[in-house]
């Protein structure tokens, strides 16, 4: 039986905390969940790689290369939605 699906709100809260802690300068106010992470330079190629590794560890998901595109990493809302959808995808089970 597959592991329990994590709720979208929980994924969003966890990823928001991770991104704020790892990628925002010390003392910076929190991010809005619809802030454009790529446009703001918060998600660089290196940071995106680190975020993907975190998702794989935290949620035991493999993100297929075709899902690693700008629209899926544009905002925290988009990233959370991707993680939520992949939980039900047998191809993404790490």
Percentage of the chain exceeding pLDDT 90: 81
For CA atoms 38, 74, 77, 13, give the dihedral sign: negative
pLDDT at 2: 44
Which CATH class for the 8-92 domain? mainly alpha
In 1-75, alpha helices (H): 8-23, 45-59
Does the pTM of the predicted model rise above 0.75? yes
Q: List the domain boundaries for the chain.
A: 8-92
pLDDT at 24: 94
For CA atoms 75, 79, 85, 90, give the dihedral sign: positive
pLDDT value at 26 more than 80: yes
pLDDT value at 78 more than 70: yes
Provide the b/e sequence for 17-43 (b: ≥16 CB within 10 Å).
ebbeeebeeeeeeebeeebebeeeebb
pLDDT (average), residues 45-57: 97
């Amino acid at each position: 039986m597959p592991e329990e699906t994590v709720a979208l709100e929980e994924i969003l809260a966890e990823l928001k905390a991770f991104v704020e802690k790892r990628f925002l300068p010390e003392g910076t106010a929190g991010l809005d969940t619809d802030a454009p992470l790529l446009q703001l330079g918060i998600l660089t190629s290196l940071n995106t790689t680190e975020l993907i590794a975190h998702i794989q560890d935290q949620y035991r998901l493999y993100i297929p290369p075709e899902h690693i595109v700008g629209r899926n990493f544009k905002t925290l809302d988009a990233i959370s939605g991707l993680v939520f959808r992949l939980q039900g995808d047998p191809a993404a089970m790490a």
